Structure 1
Amino acid sequence: MFQKAQKHGTHIKLAITGPSGAGKTFSALRLARGLAANGRIALIDTENESASLYAGEFDFDVTNVEAPYTIDKLIQPTKYVLNNNYDVLVIDSASHFWNGILDYKTNLDKRGGNSFANWGEANKKYDLLLRAILFSKIHVIVCMRSKMEYILQENDKGKQVPKKVGMAPIMRDGVEYEFTTVFDLDIAHQAQASKDRTQMFSDKIFQLTEQTGAQFREWLSESDISEKKGQAA
């Protein structure tokens, strides 16, 4: 009934959150390049084709999604990616699909019926979103917009100046628990892991690079080796 617990898994699920201008897309592409190790990268772009601005620096394929952000516009490209030998999928951003689910719930409410029951229907869409991310046999990097807020912070001259910071991601509460690692970016493009099951990035502030992606690859390799040793025993 029970067996010895072992770290295992071949694909990583990562999230990057941050306010507009924090560098989520660029950071995601750097992470993806490190994860792919010369493999193929696909990107679902809901951000008005902004990812294509980096086409000169990164080699990736893109599909541009426009409103309304129905869940099938995530599911169909994901199926294509899985069937065409890509190594990494970047979703930039998933916040639009969450807003699409909220719009779906609002439209159900306008038609009448019980609001609580309507949430049940909307939750089915959210479950499809999670399944596309978590159960796809591919590395997935999900960008999510953060709600923005201004705080007063002392500068190097001792004066209080406003600073834009990202707060909770625009997504269903608790979504961060679904990912292996969640990186929060600030407006200076610095990342900090708010959740990290790998324990490689705890209490660090740094920029996301290809090396970060390579670290995840190495971590997964160690998982595979550990699993094979367990099977041999």
Structure 2
Amino acid sequence: MAGFEIHRATKRRAKLRLGMSGPAGSGKTYSALLIAGGLGGRIGMIDTEHGSGDLYADLLPDGYDVLQLAPPFTPARYIEAIHALEDAGVQTIIVDSLTHAWSGEGGSLDRQGKIADKSGNSWQAWRQVTPEHNALVEALLQSRCHIIATMRAKTEYVQEKDERTGRQTVRKIGLAPIMRDGIEYEFTTFLELDLHHMAFAGKDRTRLFDGSIFKPELDTGRKLLTWLDAGVDAPVKRTVADEEKTGMLQAISSADTLDDLFKAFSSAYRVATALSDTQTLAELTSLKNERKAWLEAQNEEQPYDIAA
């Protein structure tokens, strides 16, 4: 039947897509760094938590790099930060925290609210914001690096009876991640951390942590790496066709606003990354930077900056 491709299921080598959520104090940053250390290679952290990324500078023998991301926390700026770390040659990117892209200043909820207030149409506002959020998810999934993304969890206080004393005690628990509903399903593995720094795999396609409660450590990363590397290499992919490449470059060079430039570059970047076409990626990035500089020179008052 034309239009369908059927193939034998084959486990291929892959890059890690790990999500982690937990309330404040659950050790998300610390745990993410330990797992990244177990994966090996150069580590880069996107830090939105006011410099918390530097607090563990002595945790790993080989250290790690930090990209400080300040407001506005638009999905576009997250994507630029991811690209910057990829271009810098890191093997693992820690996004700490992804929550700001949703509920932080300039995040999707903030942008949706402002657009709705201006237009009076909440549904139309989501039509504009949702593609931006989806582009960020795609950047995480298509990255050539391992990705570890932390998220704050909604918290709730429950009253329990202490079995030893008989007294009522109050305990803080973490609930769903503060992010768009369903974000857990985008990751290969999703860990939920509690205030004792213990992790439970709410979702785990690797089946390494099924039913277990554990404290993340270097060996956690090593176990994940073994699973990720246990497979065949993906088939060599083709380069971007000349006609398609010309259209990408033309869309970038003719962008009239920074927002149009981001959309054109993001779309082209996903195609080139999916094909592992590094030459085209380099050309796209170079042209994007040239067009961005030109647009900024035309309007120095432009408040929306797509650069990290």
The alpha-carbon deviation at position 67 of structure 1 amounts to 1.9
1:28 maps to which residue? 32
1:180 maps to which residue? 188
Please say if residues 10 and 224 of structure 1, whose CA atoms lie closer than 8 Å, have aligned partners that are also in contact: no
Please say if residues 192 and 204 of structure 1, whose CA atoms lie closer than 8 Å, have aligned partners that are also in contact: yes
Report the TM-score, using the length of structure 1 for normalisation.
0.92
2:225 maps to which residue? 217
Q: Which has the larger radius of gyration?
A: 2
Which of 127, 147, 150 does residue 157 from structure 2 map onto? 150
Structure 2 CA distance, aligned partners of 1:205 and 1:160?
26
Structure 2 CA distance, aligned partners of 1:181 and 1:69?
25
Please say if residues 23 and 155 of structure 2, whose CA atoms lie closer than 8 Å, have aligned partners that are also in contact: yes
Which of 7, 11, 29 does residue 7 from structure 1 map onto? 11
The alpha-carbon deviation at position 128 of structure 1 amounts to 1.6
- Say which SS state the counterpart of residue 213 (structure 2) adopts: coil
Structure 2 CA distance, aligned partners of 1:73 and 1:118?
19
- Which residue identity is paired with 1:14? L
Determine whether 1:169 maps to 2:171.
no
Structure 1 CA distance, aligned partners of 2:37 and 2:220?
10
Larger displacement relative to structure 2 (124-133 or 90-99): 124-133
2:251 maps to which residue? none
The alpha-carbon deviation at position 210 of structure 1 amounts to 0.8
Number of aligned positions between the proteins: 225
- Say which SS state the counterpart of residue 231 (structure 2) adopts: helix
For CA contacts below 8 A with separation 6 or more, give which structure has more relative contact order: 1
Percent identical pairs in the alignment equals: 38
Please say if residues 71 and 125 of structure 1, whose CA atoms lie closer than 8 Å, have aligned partners that are also in contact: yes
Structure 1 CA distance, aligned partners of 2:37 and 2:79?
23
2:202 maps to which residue? 194
Structure 1 CA distance, aligned partners of 2:225 and 2:83?
23
Structure 2 CA distance, aligned partners of 1:160 and 1:197?
39
Structure 1 CA distance, aligned partners of 2:161 and 2:11?
44
1:56 maps to which residue? 58
* Deviation beyond 3 Å, 4+ runs, structure 1: none
> Which protein has the bigger strand share?
1
Structure 1 CA distance, aligned partners of 2:115 and 2:33?
37
Any stretches of 5+ residues in structure 2 without a counterpart? 236-308
Report the TM-score, using the length of structure 2 for normalisation.
0.70
Coordinate RMSD, CA, aligned: 1.5
1:69-218 aligned within 5 A: 69-99=73-103, 100-157=107-164, 158-218=166-226
